[in-house]
Chain A
Amino acid sequence: MSGRARGLVWLSSLLVIAGTIALIVVAIVVDKDHPLSTLSPVGRQGRDIAELINPIFIVAGVVFFLVQGAVLALWWRYRVAGSETGDGEYGYYDDDEFPDQTHGNNRLEIAWTIVPTVLLAVISVFTLVALFALDDVKASDEDITVTVIGQQWWWEYQYHLDGDTDTPPDFVTANELVIPVGVDVALDIKSRDVIHSFWIPKLNGKRDAVPGRSHDWVIQSEEPGRFRGQCTEFCGLSHGYMKMVAVALPTAEFHQWKNNQMTPAEAPAEGTPEGEGWATFSQQCASCHVVNGLTSAANRGGAADSPPDDWDIYGEHNGGSAGPVLTTELVAGAAPNLTHLMTRGTFAGSAFDLYLNAGDHIPYLELADSGTLNRGELEAWIYNAPQRKPADADDLRGMPARTGLSPDDIDDVVAFLSTLD
């Protein structure tokens, strides 16, 4: 290849590299439409993490360019033309010219051992400070503690408004974790079956939900908004469909929401489609799903006067028994509490939108009034859930299909569910 052609090859490859880097930088900086992005945090903890890591990204970027630049410079400067076949006496070299046979330089070696060590020591100081600060989970200002329970393949939230996780929760909801803006909400993360991981990237890093263990975590949002999450520990068949949402509401709206959540549902009038739907629901769905005020423990094969929720999943507060007593029944029989289903924006482990036009814009409390119900998806889900979201319903993991229901039955069930706001 002539010198000119070589130059062109070099120039064009440099342009390609520079263009690619520019493209990547643009892609990262313009971080719109990425609801799970870690690059534009909204929560205090998320911002603390970003403040820690962003300078380190810059340091790493500098090292990256130094090393890659060195590789290219050495290539450019010291490459030699030689034999193309390598058949000569000197292999691929045309001549017997040798550079200085340098074997090493101890000072240099010590220098490039010590310099990175010092650099990393500095970084590790910042890391440790941030680490212990983030781990310092205190009771929140409003003393709300939410027990977050992962199970295949959705999330349950048990709200302890007084922060006392030793007593039954004030109310139970699923998949959409609603918090007041600006308040550190303590989380107590547990699992009913396998290991899951609770992660709302815009608010904080993730924390695993490990069966038999309770992990403290905290989330906070500086602004109102809906923030997507995704289970990030592989948890079996439908792991990819196990999502969640955190909703940060201004304090007044949060209290309004909270008061609504504590209101039990009312039975629809008999003879109406809603009433027919409730009848079907109580036979087909209430053995797993709870609707406060309507279903009872008897629906789930227990004593009629037992508490409505199997909230104490590790059996820590039953007295008597020591240690976790996770049972197969608990692993299998749990399903989202549907008392206020219509106040959530998503269903089925946040895999599907409950409203068609909700976006992130409709005020959360008005969803049930302003949103258009995503009726097709909801009906398809009730009819054959495993087809919409893979599940192993034979082993009671995931919602079983209800293909025995007629379209009218399903219309009625949806009508009943629509009353749960």
Chain B
Amino acid sequence: MTITDRTITAPEETLALPAGPAIAHRPLGIFTRPQGSEGWRSWLFTVDHKRIGIMYGAAALFFFLVGGAEALFIRLQLATPNGSVIGAGTYNGVFTMHGVTMVFLVIMPMAAAFANYLLPLQVGARDVAFPRLNAFSFWCFLAGGLLLTSSILVGGWFQNAPDGGWFAYAPNTGLLFSPSKGIDFYAVGLQILGIASLVSAINLIVTVLNMRTPGMSFFRMPVLTWMLLITQFLLLFALPVITVALFLLMFDRLWDANFFNVEAGADPLLWQHLFWIFGHPEVYILILPAFGIVSEIIPTFSRKPLFGYHFMVASGIAIGFMGWGVWAHHMFTSGVGPLSVAAFSVSTMFIAVPTGVKILNWLATMYRGRLRFTTPMLYAVGVVSMFTIGGLSGVTHAIAPSDTQQTDTYYIVAHFHYVIFGGALLGLFGGFYYWWPKAFGYKLSEAWGKASFWVMLIGFNFTFGPMHILGLQGMSRRIATYRADEGFALWNMVATIGAFVIAVGVAMFFWNVYVSTRNWRRAGRPDVGPDPWDARGLEWMTASPVPEHNFDEDIQVDRLDHFWHRKYGKDESGRVVRAAPTSEIAHDGSNTNVHLPSPSYWPIVLGGGILLVGYGIIYNLWLAAAGLVFLIGAIYGWILEPADDPDAAGHHDDHHDDDDGGDHGDPDSNGGPNGESASAETEEEATVG
């Protein structure tokens, strides 16, 4: 089905304004759109969900190195009693930045990388619903991430880093108790990151709801798509809560408001409620994408469909809902009253049920499968095993009386690292190995991948396993050091050694990326093929790396795991047999006549404006005003730029210039004259044809 007879941008054409009546719509040169998909500049202006996904992943890995280095400093300081590697002041900044970095700048954007790259592919769409907004989400995220991370360096090494813990309890974050600029960086940086996640959440929700390929009903969507969709809904409702809290905190610190000022009659528990109403759904925001990834990997390497698909989806939804009713379990010792404690204790216990259902379904998927322990499979099974430990320790402190012994000790540190590292991060790394060939056209080395996995897993258990013991032996969290006679020395030393083993495992991952890329280039860049793992989802039905237009034509989906069922059928005896070779089913990326949204200058400019406003709020309101001008200019540029690319003069007029997404996704044109085509291209055909 040919959509259009135009080619996409031709590199030799210039940005010059085309002659003709179109001039009236383009009063200034800046209101043209950039062109081309080659060179580093094309990455700055790209609106392609795949490139944005890759940039999210790269940025997350960069911040992962920053957060990991902070972790190593924590472990060095705690390796021995009366440690003096870094002082208490620096230590407080380091552990705060470690937490903030790992949560907001590593796990969340890594999940965003997969969401951006895979969601449109898995539902068979051309791109996300609002491509320019998608680019803006990334640049806004990067602005917030750089602003936060710069706090380490601004005004001296860790002089202005946030030092109130990632949870930033009032009133310790007030000016009186935290006089540096650190908490300002925290409040402003997280608000900027919140904007990025919120915009992205809306974008991805609309994409899943409106842009699925024909036949892709909700219960034909892959579990990863489901988990990412639930995650976006959690973000949509959780982020406004933390934004309110951060906004109040910012006003307290910068403009002498009294929201958390106890002297003026405030109750500091207000902050705790606001923070954890966000903070607990946040935990599921971190873990659900990894659950989705595991649910993709295990069936592929078990050669079986996912066991209990509907229950997997339902348990994800259940976690999404129940995640809102458990926040006060972070406050069992805060003095919320016995009735609240009882209610939240019980609700917290029962959230273990849907999580357990997931674990058991993964095991049932493996049962009687034909298991191939490739690197992604190792990571996925690692999640099943390690997350179970985190889940079980979670149940032990859902028991409120026992939580009064465990909360704010290393037992909790062990617990949430088993959840976030052993669950989320291992899952996301498995995702890297699994979808790497899809994104880049070659596989990462299996030998290095497996070695890296085992080193990481062993290091992980030696780091965080002993922390269970330390916590039960009474070691508190967030203490810069401990006395020699408190008996914590042994397991702290073991944990520190383990942390450096993890660092070796992570270094092996990066080395793997380097070596695999080099070997692939030396071998003449062989084609890995569309479906290197013999997998199930629609993303494997197009060439690797995925061409800019994703699919050569729309796919008519007729069941769950559509692609797999195109590859395999059953013979008379019920035995699974190959129905058609992958090469016949998968798209080869040859259809270059697909109309795609043009790149845009404005998302990155808008991100830069937000960065200026951020620094301005912290340091100088005139700078903020300048940033605001920048920002408003960028919004005007965004609105005024033509919806089409400049070489398509005369075609753009009937576009909806006021459409905030810009280029496609007008729901009214669904079910247009094309029959099968109900997604991205429909409008384009109306436009072009």
Contacts and interface: CB of A to CB of B under 8 A. Distances in A.
Given A123-B399, A331-B176, A390-B88, A80 B372 contact: yes
Contacts of A231: 476
Interface string B440-457: 000100100000000000
Given A98-B576, A207-B335, 7 more contacts: A49-B401, A91-B533, A105-B307, A116-B356, A127-B401, A199-B476, A236-B163
A91 B356 CA distance: 31
A193 interface: yes
Contact of B392 (A63, A84, A130, A197): A63
B481 A240 contact: yes
B338 A131 contact: yes
- Max chain B Cβ within 10 angstroms of own Cβ: one of A85, A210, A235, A240: A240
22 contacts: A33-B487, A34-B474, A37-B473, A38-B472, A53-B405, A63-B392, A67-B363, A74-B371, A91-B531, A91-B534, A96-B577, A101-B305, A101-B576, A113-B357, A120-B349, A206-B405, A208-B333, A211-B262, A230-B474, A239-B88, A324-B262, A328-B263
Interface in A222-249: 228, 230-241, 243
A36 B304 contact: no
Contacts of B370: 78, 80, 93, 97-99
A123 B349 contact: yes
A97 to B, nearest CB: 7
A104 B310 contact: yes
Contacts of B301: 92
Contacts, number: 329
B407 A80 contact: no
Interface residues of B, number: 113
Interface in B259-296: 262-263, 265-269
Contacts of B176: 328, 331, 395
Contacts of B581: 89
Given A117-B353, A201-B405, A206 B399 contact: no
Given A127-B399, A206-B408, A230-B474, A325 B263 contact: yes
A104 B446 CA distance: 31
Contacts of B486: 34-36, 228
B533 A86 contact: yes
Contacts of A105: 307-308, 364
Interface of A: 20, 24, 27-28, 31, 33-39, 46, 48-49, 52-53, 56-57, 60, 63-64, 67-68, 70-71, 74-75, 78-80, 82, 84-86, 89-93, 96-105, 108-109, 112-113, 116-117, 120, 123-124, 127-128, 130-132, 134-135, 152, 193-195, 197, 199, 201, 204-208, 210-213, 215, 228, 230-241, 243, 323-328, 331, 351, 390, 392, 395, 397
- Max chain B Cβ within 10 angstroms of own Cβ: one of A48, A57, A327: A57
A16 to B, nearest CB: 9
A315 B531 CA distance: 72
B399 A233 contact: no
A35 B307 contact: no
A109 B169 contact: no
Contacts of B485: 33, 35
B399 A52 contact: yes
Nearest to B347: A124
Contact of A197 (B88, B367, B385, B408): B408
A143 to B, nearest CB: 23
B622 interface: no
B368 A207 contact: no
6 tightest A-B contacts by CB?
A205-B404, A36-B474, A240-B479, A91-B534, A98-B576, A104-B308
B503 interface: no
A326 B342 contact: no
B381 interface: yes
B435 to A, nearest CB: 14
Nearest to A351: B483
B170 to A, nearest CB: 8
Contact of A194 (B172, B179, B263, B304): B172
B334 A79 contact: no
Given A34-B487, A206-B408, A124 B401 contact: no
